[in-house]
A and B are shown apart, each in its own frame.
Chain A
Amino acid sequence: MTEYLDPTDSVAVPRKTATRPSSLDGKVVTLLDISKAKGDHLLDRLEELLRERAAPKAIVRKKKPTFARPAPDPLRDEIVGATDVLIEALAD
């Protein structure tokens, strides 16, 4: 049979999964709001719970300009350089 050219392009490259700390004690935790409505309420409560039930060194709040795009590079770099753990919400 005739061969057809491939209309697709695979972009899958091997991705790493980060090593987990045993607890959040003394860690910097960043809460990233993706800017979808209601996500801030969820993160507000998670922040309270983190303060009550874990002992993070700091909790940092960050916000994407819009949920409709990936975080801009400067924001990504800023987060990578300054946090141990990330929690992002809320995609719905």
Chain B
Amino acid sequence: MHDGVFFEDHGIPTATIISTEFARAAKAQAEALGATGYRTVMVQHPIQPLTRDEVRALADKVFDEVLARVTA
């Protein structure tokens, strides 16, 4: 989260993609740093046991949301 908060703070629109299990940790960490409005893009946990194709399918699923997160 530190990176995402840093880049936003430095004027770079950022989409940070995390797995669903870390939603709370990401929010808490961003808030602790003072970034109360920071929003992430979430993909379904778990990731590590997935095959390459299964991970690629997640990209297809969230692409529109990623695009929306970095544009107005």
Asked whether any CB of A lies within 8 Å of a CB of B in the complex, the reply is yes
CB distance A86 to B50 under 8 Å? no
CB distance B31 to A83 under 8 Å? no
CB distance B34 to A42 under 8 Å? no
Contact check: which of A16, A17, A88 meets B15 at CB < 8 Å?
A88
Question: Which residues of A line the B interface, CB within 8 A?
Answer: 11-24, 32, 34, 37-38, 41-46, 49, 53-54, 64, 70-71, 76, 79-80, 83-92
Task: Given A16-B8, A17-B37, A49-B59, verify A86-B21 contact (CB < 8 Å).
Answer: no
- Interface size for B (C-beta < 8 A) is 46
Task: Report B70 CB to chain A, min CB distance, Å.
Answer: 5
Given contacts A11-B32, A87-B70, 7 further A-B contacts (CB under 8 A): A15-B5, A15-B33, A41-B56, A42-B59, A86-B12, A86-B14, A92-B21
CB distance A91 to B17 under 8 Å? yes
- Residue on A with the closest CB to B57? A45
Instruction: Enumerate chain B residues within 8 angstroms of A12, measured Cβ to Cβ.
Output: 31-34
Instruction: Enumerate chain B residues within 8 angstroms of A19, measured Cβ to Cβ.
Output: 11, 13, 72
Q: Which 7 A-B pairs have the closest CB atoms?
A: A45-B59, A20-B72, A92-B19, A12-B34, A89-B17, A41-B55, A92-B47
